């Protein structure tokens, strides 16, 4: 079974990354890079602060990467991506709303 898997794997990757290569594959990979970059950004911000922090830009990258991935899901007709990124993007937007509401409250108190 493992030998068969080792023999089939190159053909699988060829099919996924070469045969199906088009603009939307590049777009989807770009979306994942944008989405994944938020973790690098958060890590750098936390290292600089010496504690775990969630910079505002984390949420903007989450929204941008999530929306790009959602578009990819619609184009590719992938219900798992559509449901996952659709719900996640709503959560990211809600977090931004809470952050901005807290900032307004602090400004009003000062």
The tokens describing 106, both together, are: 């602090």
pLDDT tens, the chain, 110 aa long: 778 888 889 998 898 888 989 999 999 999 999 999 999 999 999 999 999 999 999 999 999 999 999 999 999 999 999 999 999 999 999 999 999 999 999 998 87
């Amino acid at each position: 079974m493992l030998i068969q898997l080792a023999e089939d794997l190159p053909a699988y990757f060829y099919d996924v990354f070469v045969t199906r290569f088009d603009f939307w594959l590049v777009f989807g990979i770009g979306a994942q890079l944008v989405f994944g970059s938020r973790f690098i950004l958060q890590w750098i911000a936390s290292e600089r602060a010496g504690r775990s922090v969630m910079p505002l830009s984390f949420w903007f990258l989450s929204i941008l990467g999530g929306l790009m991935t959602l578009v990819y899901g619609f184009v590719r007709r992938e219900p798992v991506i559509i449901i996952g990124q659709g719900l996640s993007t709503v959560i990211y937007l809600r977090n931004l709303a809470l952050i901005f509401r807290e900032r307004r409250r602090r400004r009003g108190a000062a």
